[in-house]
Structure 1
């Protein structure tokens, strides 16, 4: 391995012991160690991107090719599951993010948000595109923190103007009184604590006003509560672009919820949290796994009047600035290109074929290959191969791809120096780019909402849409995994209208938070929501009935979704059929406008 960049990658891989899934002394859990190793190369992956590479449902041939790699240690399996993360996967992760950074230099004047160019958004008067709109209320005086039996509640003037809103899990949790309130009082940071011993209706308006005017929103989830409304609200606030500090402890995503009625509900809660983490990180908002670290971030945000997306490793945070890069798709594309050239199914291709694949992955421009002759393998760094002219395995191709991302020539430095001046000049001549015109829609409708055993798509939606000649994307699959997160995100961002049908034959937590998030992003959303009948029952798994308390929790999330939909003037229809008809009319109208 003569490539200096690959040697640096191997050093970082070994330093953080990424081939071991067990918690180590060098950075804690595996995902955090991978992020810290990536930070050494100036890239900042999200948790979802890493989980996508760790998933087990890649093609069997791809996993077999990685298992056969010459640099694999015995502790690591083909896709990084169980035995840690493989070196080749780490190379693909770094290579994908660095190449995306390089290519962005050539997109002069590109101003699409981190989540990718989206077309399913309504224009907002005097604001333009809703996504990416940061509401950062100025820190204003007028709230005095008082102690006593109220748990340090602020003394409100006519209108609450606190710095921090303490949202998230309530009873039976005590994180506010035990940790958050003493810290904020010590730091002289004003706050509003919505947790009370005796709630009364007049608090609704006060709480909403305090939340709207807070400069930082601290939301903490806890495995002792379902927190359905808090999950849905967190997704909505992230979509609005608020300064959200979200805490999801490891126990929520890796352990068992102490309140779940059965295994199926536990899996539903876990899947919902993966959805929430993915949506929040795609907004470049980091997710914290401990309350003390989150409180330190809150202190930085309030006292420096900073945006949560600007927090860096110097602030004790793992940023997710590269969360939009399609890492798992890059790995799959590399494998498919390799398979196309491996006509004899020998598991090896020629060096010329490898050079052509690298040229294809670079798009012909950027990525350190400007000015190179097409299909010229000598222009690529083949020193990573053990012998000159040796046939290239898939594992070798992964190393070559990453090695190319670390190469810099004079054209890279030139474009890096000219990118911002050229972007500024373009904005002066043409005005700011609109995300609405950044990409053409691929689908007319995204069929979001309840999945599982629900049949509303087959019974009410798909026949009507096909009869009207309207294209759609159906995310309902039999065996869902985290690898589908990036595909579904791309489909949502390239759909004209987002339809969410929330039925009462499933918990639908992930669907609710997804709908709330895109309402917050000013998406063209059409909604239908069914409430659970009072008294229990329902559920989504065989023999898993909900208790009366569980029904209240899930209905509380549905009611919150309906509330934000009404406030955002999102059409809420009485039946799935009416919602589909509304979508058809909206798509027809949008086609006429275009």
Structure 2
């Protein structure tokens, strides 16, 4: 089917489907739910939904731009093709697997893992990392790898060529440096790994589980001079496309439209109500031929006899409703598609010719409100819910939001998003990422009660300008 969702998109869809269907398990999708999932992904691939604008960064651009000074590289520093980053002692993946394979492939590398490390090596590591063509990171389960997870998230946001391997932790009681980890620490470390994978996949970068496979992909990227995002299934990589797109909210909207017309609470809609719900969701009417197709599928009746069946006599449940919407939502006429093409070309013309002049006039003639979007920034189409503050940071065993932040924000009349209320906090699902994008200020508090690895990984990505 050529669908390439991220792990967080699948997780989001499973959780939303569980809530919409009011079932106990989030381990499967029904056929109708999968149809929504698949058709929405296909639609996004075809139309190329752009990444949402981050309001917090736009406000920074609105003021004086602070230019980052690039550090000058010393002349004569050797350039390695691969930097072997990630988990260090006591791991042996570099000596046992990576270095022998790289030598056989004729690829130069820098190994930061030494028996006696000192501060004087910091600059050498930095220079090697800056000059390397590929950053090869392994997040192993033999160490906590807190710093490596944060660094990998930062490097992915910098658009560096990153090859990432993640080895999941075995579970509570697993020993790290001879110490069994508690269930709380296991949850913290695992959440950090999952959020790191979500952040990397949002850049279109596949995440690996096998070091040898990742090394073979590294050789291909170097040999063919391609991006990591170009790796595919034939390379034993799991490609990811448009991981920023929200999918679960589409199912929620279908459920809301269905429930609004199911006034008796029977769990079924007559075909007339299906037509109404379809128009609410798509702003289009189902055609006569569409209705006949639905009737034929429901009853097995074909031909002229279809016309004799009243719409009110046919009922569909939510599962069938999802399949109907998925099938007919994208069935637009050629005239409509041609009109969309004309509009797209007209829009590009306006953006290149008319829009720059309009922006200059707007800037010159009218003052801008305090929290208005800077000129040239398109509004986020994924969600219209804009808030002043996103309350990020440590969640478990903390009360700083309820005790301090929320009362002060309410007193000041500021809106906020509290991710702690979300039951799906183990992953950075697109819905929560959109809440971050649609907030003017990102407030992160890292307490001493937990390691907050996931929150620090998010912060490292947000630090990239």
Counterpart position of 1:118: 54
Counterpart position of 1:404: 328
C-alpha spacing 1:280/1:436, structure 2 compared with 1 (3 Å): farther
Residue 58 of structure 1 aligns to a residue in which SS?
helix
Superposed, 1:229-240 pairs within 5 Å as 229-240=147-158
Of residues 416, 424, 441, the one that matches 1:497 is 441
Q: 1:425: how far off?
A: 3.8
Greater share of residues in helix: 2
| Cα distance between partner residues in 2 of 1:473 and 1:120 | 14
Superposed, 1:28-67 pairs within 5 Å as 40=1, 42-55=2-15, 58-59=18-19, 62-64=21-23
| Cα distance between partner residues in 2 of 1:483 and 1:386 | 43
Of residues 424-433 and 168-177 in structure 1, the stretch that sits farther from structure 2 once superposed is 424-433
Instruction: Give deviations 1:267-324, integer Å, cap 9, x for gaps.
Output: 1222222222222222222212222222222122222222222333344322211312
Counterpart position of 2:79: 161
Counterpart position of 2:387: 443
Instruction: Give deviations 1:456-475, integer Å, cap 9, x for gaps.
Output: 22333223322322222111
| Cα distance between partner residues in 1 of 2:375 and 2:264 | 47
Q: 1:407: how far off?
A: 4.1
Instruction: Give deviations 1:179-236, integer Å, cap 9, x for gaps.
Output: 2222222222222111111112111011111112222211111111111111111111
Superposed, 1:78-157 pairs within 5 Å as 79=25, 81=27, 84-101=28-45, 104=47, 112-113=50-51, 116-121=52-57
| Cα distance between partner residues in 2 of 1:230 and 1:427 | 42
Of residues 306, 316, 322, the one that matches 2:236 is 316
Residue 13 of structure 2 aligns to a residue in which SS?
helix
Of residues 475, 478, 501, the one that matches 2:419 is 475
Counterpart position of 1:572: none
| Cα distance between partner residues in 2 of 1:297 and 1:485 | 27
Q: 1:257: how far off?
A: 4.9
Of residues 263, 268, 278, the one that matches 1:348 is 268
* Contact 2:3 2:42 (8 Å CA) reproduced: yes
| Cα distance between partner residues in 2 of 1:246 and 1:435 | 35
Of residues 181, 193, 215, the one that matches 1:295 is 215
| Cα distance between partner residues in 2 of 1:229 and 1:495 | 27
C-alpha spacing 1:257/1:243, structure 2 compared with 1 (3 Å): farther
* Contact 1:120 1:497 (8 Å CA) reproduced: yes
Question: May I ask how many residue pairs the two structures share in their alignment?
Answer: 422
| Cα distance between partner residues in 1 of 2:329 and 2:188 | 38
Q: 1:405: how far off?
A: 5.6
Residue 334 of structure 1 aligns to a residue in which SS?
helix
Instruction: Give deviations 1:312-337, integer Å, cap 9, x for gaps.
Output: 33443222113122222222221121
For structure 1, the 5+ residue unaligned runs are: 1-39, 65-77, 136-155, 365-371, 523-594
| Cα distance between partner residues in 1 of 2:336 and 2:83 | 45
TM-score normalised to structure 1 length:
0.64
Instruction: Give deviations 1:4-44, integer Å, cap 9, x for gaps.
Output: xxxxxxxxxxxxxxxxxxxxxxxxxxxxxxxxxxxx2x332
TM-score normalised to structure 2 length:
0.80
C-alpha spacing 1:265/1:216, structure 2 compared with 1 (3 Å): same
Counterpart position of 2:400: 456
Residue 442 of structure 2 aligns to a residue in which SS?
strand
Counterpart position of 1:248: 166
| Cα distance between partner residues in 2 of 1:195 and 1:416 | 56
Q: 1:504: how far off?
A: 0.4
C-alpha spacing 1:346/1:253, structure 2 compared with 1 (3 Å): farther
Bigger relative contact order, structure 1 or 2 (CA pairs below 8 A, ≥6 apart)? 2
Question: Post-superposition, which runs of at least 4 consecutive aligned residues in structure 1 deviate over 6 A?
Answer: 253-256, 415-420, 431-435
| Cα distance between partner residues in 1 of 2:169 and 2:375 | 38
Q: 1:423: how far off?
A: 6.4
Of residues 421, 424, 428, the one that matches 2:352 is 428
Counterpart position of 1:192: 110
